Amino acid sequence: MVVKSELDKLGLHYVVIDLGEVEIKETIADEQRNKLKIALLKSGLELMDDKKAILIEKIKGVVIEMVHYSEELPKTNFSDFLSQKLNYDYTYLSNLFSEVTGTTIEHFIIAHKIERVKELLIYDELNLSEISYKLNYSSVAHLSAQFKKVTGLTPSFFKHLKNKRLTTLDKLPGTW
């Protein structure tokens, strides 16, 4: 809505407005582009025209959507899933991502999976086996090893810390 409104104010006509993408019919003058950039920044949005930066954001978006918001992770290799989703060769995506971000797609995925594990442990609705299955880990041992490597804690110790913290908060004066 914000993007449409700003484009209309500048008299720009768009073919497509999709999440994170806009295709404009005409060529934009530098002055219009700068006005659009400033207007979008005021709304907390960023105008990106670097194709590589846009592709990196798409990769991040696919990973975040898959790990945090999908009910079930894809059963195929993530490299195949990402290639199909973005219509690019995985090697190209992987090399570009590493070159621009300084980390691999794999490490980015692992970091997000561990954050998701933390959330699920805090919610306390699923046990470790269920979390392991939900996030496509080959075993609870694999999840636990990866969790410890990233956080320095075992999943059970992390959960214990959460419970201890909640207990401590309960004992604060003025709480009920």
User: 33 and 13, same structural domain?
Assistant: yes
User: 73 and 37, same structural domain?
Assistant: no
CATH of the domain at 94: 1.10.10.60
The reply to whether 173 falls in a domain is no
- Domains contained in the chain, number: 2
Q: Are 109 and 78 in contact (CB under 8 A)?
A: yes
User: 85 and 99, same structural domain?
Assistant: yes
pLDDT at 19: 63
Instruction: Give residues with Cβ within 8 angstroms of 41, minimum separation 6.
Output: 47
Lowest-confidence pick of 16-20, 93-97, 127-131: 16-20
Residue 60 has pLDDT above 60, yes or no: yes
Its domain, for residue 19, covers 2-47
User: 58 and 22, same structural domain?
Assistant: no
Amino acid at 174: G
User: 102 and 28, same structural domain?
Assistant: no
pTM of the model: 0.70
More confident residue, 117 or 170: 117
Q: Over the stretch 106-157, which tens digit does the pLDDT of each residue have?
A: 999 999 999 999 999 999 889 999 999 999 899 999 999 999 999 999 999 9
What percentage of the chain exceeds 90 in pLDDT?
A: 44
Residue 67 has pLDDT above 80, yes or no: yes
The reply to whether 78 falls in a domain is yes
pLDDT at 75: 74
User: 82 and 42, same structural domain?
Assistant: no
Which burial class, exposed, middle or buried, applies to 61 when counting CB atoms under 10 A from its CB (0-12, 13-18, 19+)?
middle
Q: How far is CA 105 from the centre of its chain?
A: 11
pLDDT at 37: 82
User: 62 and 18, same structural domain?
Assistant: no
Q: If you average pLDDT over each of 17-31, 38-52, 138-152, which comes out highest?
A: 138-152
Q: Are 24 and 49 in contact (CB under 8 A)?
A: no
Band (pLDDT 50/70/90 cuts) for residue 13 is: confident
The reply to whether 135 falls in a domain is yes
Q: What is the mean pLDDT of the chain?
A: 85
